[in-house]
Amino acid sequence: MRAYPPRLSLRLLFPPLLALAACNATGIDSSPAAKASVPPSTATNAEFAVLPLPQIDTVGIKSDIAFLSSDAFEGRAPGTHGDELARTYIQQQFAKSGLAPGAADGTWMQAVSMLGITSTVERTLSVHGALGTLQFAAPDDFTAVAGSPSESSAWDEAPLLFVGYGIAAPEQRWDDFKGLDVKGKVLLVLNNDPSDEPDLFAGKTRLYYGRWTYKYEEAARRGAAGVIILHTAPSAGYPYHVVQANHGRENFWLPFKQDQPTLPIRSWCTEDAARKICRAGGKDLDELVKAAQQRSFLPIPIGINVSLAIRNSVRQLQSANVLGKLPGSDPNLASETVIITAHFDHLGRGKPRGADSIYNGALDNASGVAGMLAVLRACSALPERPRRSILFASVTAEESGLLGSEWLATHLPCERRDAIANFNIDGLNIWGMTHDIEFVGYGKNSLTTLASEFAKAQGRRIEPDTQPDLGIFYRSDHFNFARQGIPAAYFKAGSDFLDRPADRKRMKASYTATHYHQPTDELADWWNFDGAVADLQLLARCMLATASLDAPTWTKGDEFEKLR
């Protein structure tokens, strides 16, 4: 970790970096090929695919990541000094690249009001059953955070009920609750969704029903006192230490609505703790999991009561989405908008790893912001703007539940019907050039075909998400736009590496296992941006084509089609 004064001023911090950005970050190619790269409004996808684009420069990407992920930003948690520094820097880069302020009120900042809730365990989790009483330690065995703005929440000898996956899906003819009243009860729930049958819940592809956020939302709608989600690395897609990192940390919420159902306590537990809890009630966890795979499953009382108490510190805070607009050139289409997003926030300060307590978020997602700025600088070099407008949006509080993008998607600075597509950047390829690039949500909308044509022109290919069981489509900011019926695209780093493929695949896998949501997510000398540049060029080409050619559509029968 580098040492910085605790609260550097904007005036002192920014000029050196801005000078560096002016020299290195634009990556503008002034060659005739670049100047001739403006796609005519009558171009086809095929013609778009072969047009050159201004260069995207790796030096600019690296300098932006280094700056935004430095210790001076203290992890960019919402409502902190680092949050303010990040937003100011991004605004300056937007203005420098020729964008106009993009918020509805004519400013750069779309204010996002939030509540910050920090939960402290006052009485640890204990279970009492016929076989005795057990106590568990946080965060080694379980975690507990508030799901409401109450000053305190508690389970006092609340019955524990196993409800399988906690899913009610009429279109799948699946109901884990079977009409049982769960008010006042604590629910033990499996993560993910049933995947043994290909005709159920899209087989191995996780739907939103499999997301932990859905589990909490459904339990809140039914009046439960709380939920304990059983963590396993395969079902979550990350190790338990990622969950642990959230325990005791301030969590953020959009202001609660008066009629919004809430869940007093949201908890996770380890698989080992779940086995002990079930055993205390005379139940076998493996048998419970087996039963949950059947459509005929009925909720099963564990035979124990659980107790837990937390105290919550609640505060109001302000953050903002940074919005910049590249106005469209066609008077008949300029009101229509393509939105490109990249969240700038990360986790701030938290549980130390060694001597380091700053969660810098270099890959997640300083790299995404740097990628968006690189695309912006490339697009601003074009001698002619695309026909539709492009809104560049760096959003807040993604790590807190996609809050900034939720606010933007439901408070757009344009009419919802005029928001025709979203392209999201959440992490760049830092491992090297690939033959492929993954499209999260492959086949859900016509952007898949568009991206496939442009990837082919690069001598590459589009691949479906290689981990559909993780439900990644529902885990980043593009999801909130899809929920509004706006076709969305999220590209991820491929896995078919040109150079030392086995080594690079191993390095890529180690990020999630070791560095994801940890203080070690820092810029390193070995990072290779060759693949990132190719991926960003593909995204830029898709974005520019969408801003000038036919508006994208959802695939017939897709879950979001009816929302358009």
Tell me, letter by letter, the H, E, C secondary structure of 202-259: CCCCCCHHHCHHHHHHHHHHCCCCEEEEECCHHHHCCCHHHHHCCCCCCEEECCCCCC
* No. of helices (H) and no. of strands (E), the chain: 16, 20
Alpha-carbon distances, residue 239 vs 136, 338, 359, 519 (angstroms): 19, 36, 17, 15
Highest-confidence range of 20-29, 350-359, 413-422, by mean pLDDT? 413-422
Give the pLDDT confidence score for residue 325 in this predicted structure: 98
**What domains, with CATH codes, occur in the chain?**
10-24+51-96+327-563 (3.40.630.10), 116-314 (3.50.30.30)
Q: How far apart are the first and last CA of the chain?
A: 47
Residue 467: what are its φ and ψ, rounded to 5°? Answer: -130, 60
Tell me, letter by letter, the H, E, C secondary structure of 36-80: CCCCCCCCCHHHHHHCCCCCCCHHHHHHHHHHHCCHHHCCCCCCC
What are the tens digits of pLDDT across the range 235-251? 998 999 999 988 998 99
pLDDT band at 23 (very low <50, low <70, confident <90, very high): very low
Average pLDDT of the residues in 362-385? 94
Q: DSSP 3-state assignment of 552?
A: coil
pLDDT value at 163 more than 70: yes
224, 230 in Cβ contact below 8 A? no
Q: DSSP 3-state assignment of 411?
A: coil
What are the tens digits of pLDDT across the range 293-343? 999 999 999 999 999 999 999 999 999 999 999 999 999 999 999 999 999
Percent of the chain with pLDDT over 90: 81
Q: Which of 499, 394, 397 is CA-nearest to residue 99?
A: 394
For residue 213, give both structure tokens. 């956020």
Positive or negative, the CA dihedral 164, 165, 170, 172 is: negative
Q: Which of 90, 65, 106 is CA-nearest to residue 392?
A: 90
**Which amino acid type is present at position 290?**
K
How deeply is 12 buried, as exposed, middle or buried, from its count of CB atoms within 10 A (0-12, 13-18, 19+)?
exposed
Angle between helix 58-68 and helix 10-24 axes, rounded to 10 deg? 170
What are the tens digits of pLDDT across the range 184-239? 999 999 999 998 777 888 888 888 999 999 999 999 999 999 999 999 999 998 99
Whole-prediction pTM: 0.88
Give the pLDDT confidence score for residue 41 in this predicted structure: 54
Alpha-carbon distances, residue 409 vs 352, 447, 485, 486 (angstroms): 35, 19, 10, 9
Which of 47-51, 271-275, 332-336, 447-451 is predicted least confidently?
47-51
For 213-244, give one letter per residue: b (16+ CB within 10 A) or e.
Answer: ebbbbbbbebebbbbbbbbeeebbbebbebbb
Q: How many CB atoms lie within 10 A of CB 380?
A: 17
**Preceding peptide of 139 cis, ω within 30°:** yes
**Which amino acid type is present at position 534?**
A
The residues pairing with 215 across neighbouring beta strands, listed in sequence order, are: none
- How far is it, in rounded angstroms, from Cα 263 to Cα 140? 22
How deeply is 458 buried, as exposed, middle or buried, from its count of CB atoms within 10 A (0-12, 13-18, 19+)?
middle
Q: Which of 77, 7, 10, 64 is CA-nearest to residue 360?
A: 77
- How far is it, in rounded angstroms, from Cα 419 to Cα 412? 8
Q: DSSP 3-state assignment of 427?
A: coil
Which of 11-20, 58-67, 432-441, 535-544 is predicted least confidently?
11-20
Tell the residue number behind the tokens 């949050």, with chain if given.
83
Give the pLDDT confidence score for residue 36 in this predicted structure: 37
**Preceding peptide of 332 cis, ω within 30°:** no
Give the pLDDT confidence score for residue 50 in this predicted structure: 65
For residue 212, give both structure tokens. 């932990």
pLDDT value at 79 more than 90: yes
321, 371 in Cβ contact below 8 A? no
Give the pLDDT confidence score for residue 25 in this predicted structure: 35
Q: How many CB atoms lie within 10 A of CB 279?
A: 17
pLDDT band at 42 (very low <50, low <70, confident <90, very high): low
**Element (DSSP H or E) covering residue 417:** none
Give the pLDDT confidence score for residue 40 in this predicted structure: 54
